[in-house]
A and B are shown apart, each in its own frame.
Chain A
Amino acid sequence: MPFKISEHTADLRVELEGRSFEELLLSGFLAVLEVLEIDASSPAVERVEINLRSCDREGLLADWLNELLFHIQTRGLHFACVEKLQIDGDELKAVLCAAKGGVKPAFEIKAATQHELKIEETEGVLHAAVVFDL
């Protein structure tokens, strides 16, 4: 698993890692599905485009996670995979495959916070810890 769920008194902390920024974002994608207990094996029937621009890479990571949460929790999309993920500076373009009207998530995440969010590199691997407000 490219992520680890750890404790936070009020909320939930997820430690992500990846060999590139794109991989870090994909780790975040998998972590969101895991926390919400979404089965990614459902047959995807539609494609969702996501375009984001943020103030920096940490901001882009939080915005990406919040974008996923919005589509899952508000629009009822059941993401199956990330088909395309392209980063250009502080901009992100992605295409995701999703099924609509899937099972409701088991948990509610209010948001991925910016609390102490910092992307750090150790021996070629990027690390970031994201606190989710539950």
Chain B
Amino acid sequence: MKLQKNGECRWLLPRSGAMLVPGEIFALPDMLSALDTDKVTGQVANVACLPGIIGAALAMPDAHWGYGFPIGGVAAMDAAEGVISPGGVGYDISCGVRLLACTLDAADIKKKLSEIADALYKAVPSGVGSETGNRLSENELRPVCEKGARWAVEKGFGEAADLECCEDEGATAQADASAPSARAYERGAAQLGTLGSGNHFIEVQEVSEIFDAKTAEVFGLHRGQAVVLVHTGSRGFGYQICDEYVRLMLTAARRYGISLPDRQLACAPVNSPEGKKYFGAMCAASNYARANRQMIAYAIRGAFRRVFGASAALAPVYDVSHNIAKMETHIVAGTPKKLCVHRKGATRAFAAGHPDLPARYKNTGHPVLVPGSMGTSSYVLVGTARAAEITFASVCHGAGRAMSRTKAAGCVDARDLRRELSGMCIEVRCASMRGLAEEAPCAYKDVSGVVETCRISGIAAKVARMKPLAVIKG
């Protein structure tokens, strides 16, 4: 499949075969080769075949080969006539990022860097199958699924002000706590408040560069400040829901006469009983993920107070999911249209003036949080009106993998990596040395190039860059 240049950092995949719309890939010319181009274009083409897709099947600059959808994929479906696909959200439903801004500067943190790294590692259960030791029954988890981060705040794990800086004020109202199975509740019973493994992390960072001082001030960020970035999702609860609904939708797709180019794209009409039930279950998992990040933020605050004293407060900047399907209204051919926007490894980016923004960010747009790999930068961006026009207000969600986990584990010596990071004055705590090797910076694309692609193509503006001080790996 041949890509055609379609503007700065934009590559068009023309319609062919069963594609209902074209595809579009965002990438710097020299990053196309690192994109698994054939794999990504093939997956973009498959997504473009799904009924009710609007505009184009998109791949963000951090896109790479996924399963079904590419990671970094965005697909907006007509909410009235289109489909919803669990594979377009992924297993880690509502995996996302939360940024906390510290009252202390990085210089203060560096004096006790090892202590805070130890305290964070101790405070937040992390690693394979991490659990809290406190099992919640289905009846106890149902309010979590309904109220999300609000449930956690009501239980004392945070403050009301936290919710004002969360996507949807910490909970989506469309959750149906009866839609997840007993097994999903069993799988999530002991995992609320845990980081998990894989690419999940907590990172203490220093704001090293400000690109837009005015917006950074609104976001509560300044150069030299310490911040904390948390990356995790809905844990086993979400994995189980996705698995069960992919299975359900395979059967449903046949019944509705939907031809699937890939089984993992199993789907059903948004308005079908199966589609509605999945959406309710997915929103329940999304609320679980938001409560999870809220509880982790609470534990992080406790660790900071223990190490640095009561003056070390952590204010919320934003919390946003990057694996999610959301009902949103976008302008299509000049007319507002309700769409089911799938973001599989992509971040929503509402620009200034959008009606769904929290009051604090009405005039700027909400912060878009883009974590880099260990040892490299992370970024805070902000969405643009252009993103609303061409990407359904979506941008990248990270650096994007360039190397498989197997390959990274085979060619990176975790002890060498740890020494290398230590040489960069980065403290690392990890549950698994192999996990550390799999997440080595060389396994990822250059996050600065990814972010630059967003800037050049006009879908986001840079606000701040952060560099890591301490990394807690799951």
Interface residues of A (CB under 8 A from B): 5-12, 54-55, 58-59, 62-63, 66, 70, 73-75, 104-108, 110-111, 113-117, 131, 133-134
Contact = CB atoms under 8 A, between A and B. Distances in A.
B404 A9 contact: yes
A70 B183 contact: yes
A55 to B, nearest CB: 5
Nearest to A62: B247
B337 to A, nearest CB: 30
B242 A111 contact: yes
A115 B68 contact: yes
Interface string B182-202: 010011000000001110000
Interface in B85-123: 87, 90-92
13 contacts: A10-B66, A11-B404, A66-B243, A75-B186, A106-B434, A107-B434, A108-B129, A110-B239, A110-B242, A115-B68, A116-B262, A117-B264, A134-B198
Interface in B224-271: 236, 239-240, 242-243, 246-247, 250-251, 254, 262-264, 266
Contact of B432 (A106, A111, A115, A134): A106
B71 A114 contact: no
Given A10-B64, A116-B262, A134 B247 contact: no
A114 B263 contact: yes
Given A9-B64, A111-B242, A114-B263, 7 more contacts: A8-B67, A55-B247, A107-B128, A107-B197, A111-B239, A114-B262, A115-B67
B42 to A, nearest CB: 10
B360 interface: no
Interface residues of B, number: 43
A55 B250 contact: yes
Contacts of B405: 11-12, 134
Contacts of A54: 247
A59 B67 contact: no
B288 interface: no
A106 B64 contact: no
Main secondary structure of the interface of A (DSSP, over half): loop
A115 B254 contact: no
A15 to B, nearest CB: 13
Nearest to B263: A114
B36 interface: yes
B306 interface: no
B342 interface: no
Contacts, number: 106
B39 interface: yes
Given A106-B128, A115-B264, A59 B247 contact: yes
Nearest to B130: A108
Interface centre among B67, B401, B407, B432 (most CB of A within 10 A): B67
B123 to A, nearest CB: 20
A73 B131 CA distance: 11
Nearest to B438: A134
- In the A-B complex, list the 7 residue pairs whose CB atoms are closest, starting with the nearest: A115-B67, A114-B263, A7-B404, A110-B91, A115-B264, A9-B65, A110-B239
Contact of A105 (B129, B187, B403): B129
Contact of A10 (B71, B187, B196, B246): B71
B36 A73 contact: no
Contacts of A106: 128, 432, 434
Contacts of B403: 9
B311 interface: no
Given A5-B406, A63-B247, A115 B242 contact: no
Given A70-B240, A117-B263, A108 B198 contact: yes
A58 B251 CA distance: 13
A49 to B, nearest CB: 15
A102 B236 CA distance: 19
A133 B92 CA distance: 10
Interface centre among A5, A73, A110, A116 (most CB of B within 10 A): A110
A62 to B, nearest CB: 8
B404 A133 contact: no
Contacts of A11: 67, 404-405
B140 to A, nearest CB: 17
Interface string B47-66: 00000000000000000111
A116 B39 contact: no
Given A9-B36, A115-B264, A74 B186 contact: yes
Interface string B388-423: 000000000000011111110000000000000000
B39 A9 contact: yes
A110 B240 CA distance: 8
B65 A108 contact: no
A114 B91 contact: no
Contacts of A6: 406
A22 to B, nearest CB: 21
Given A10-B64, A74-B236, A114 B251 contact: no
A5 B406 CA distance: 9
A8 B122 CA distance: 33
Given A63-B247, A111-B242, A134-B198, A10 B406 contact: no
A133 B196 contact: no
